[in-house]
Amino acid sequence: MRAALADLARRDPRAVHHDSVRWLSCPASRAAGFDAVLTDWLASGALNPDGLAFSALAALHPSAFGTSLPAAFEAHGQTAAAAFGGCVGQRPSAFEAALRNSDWMALDWWRARVPQLANRVPGNQLDWLPLARVLTPGFLVHDGSRSDMVGFLLARGAGPGARLRTGAHSNR
């Protein structure tokens, strides 16, 4: 069954999708070896940024930022800066998922490449403030991590007085 699923993903171009990348890069799929489909897609050019309607980096599972996958994606032209503003999947972007799950390693990976994420995240229609999001009840998966998350963001440059410009859009 595993071999059939992997073969289908490799052969069907419709499988190259934001949510498929998230699934193939999650811990269980990596443990089953399905992440090899992603490296095959990279080698075949299926994940070249100029031919995708989504960012492969933004589609990765947050836990994958501790693996070699992000570096492989970057080596094939994916950039963290281009990973915001358009998501065609059902799952949130990797940055938002990392924030929701208090995934410190993934958040540091993103911030190292896009430092302004501490204060402003470009959105599909409206930009958003990470500090405001983590203070919103129900946003964090682990509600008990709120104070740690606030401290984490403040230590990495989040300004408690940060405000979005009126009409701030990711396309501007």
Beta bridge pairs of residue 121: 128
- What SS3 state is found at 52? coil
Residue 84 near residue 121 (C-beta atoms within 8 A): yes
Q: What is the pLDDT of residues 22-53, one digit of tens each?
A: 999 999 999 999 999 999 999 999 999 988 88
**pLDDT for res 125:** 67
Crossing angle of helices 35-44 and 2-11, in 10° steps, is 20
Residue 15 near residue 9 (C-beta atoms within 8 A): yes
CA distances from 19 to 25, 56, 65, 108, 139 (A): 10, 10, 16, 23, 20
Q: What is the pLDDT of residues 57-78, one digit of tens each?
A: 999 999 999 999 999 999 999 9
Domain boundaries, the chain: 2-155
pTM surpassing 0.75?
yes
**pLDDT for res 22:** 95
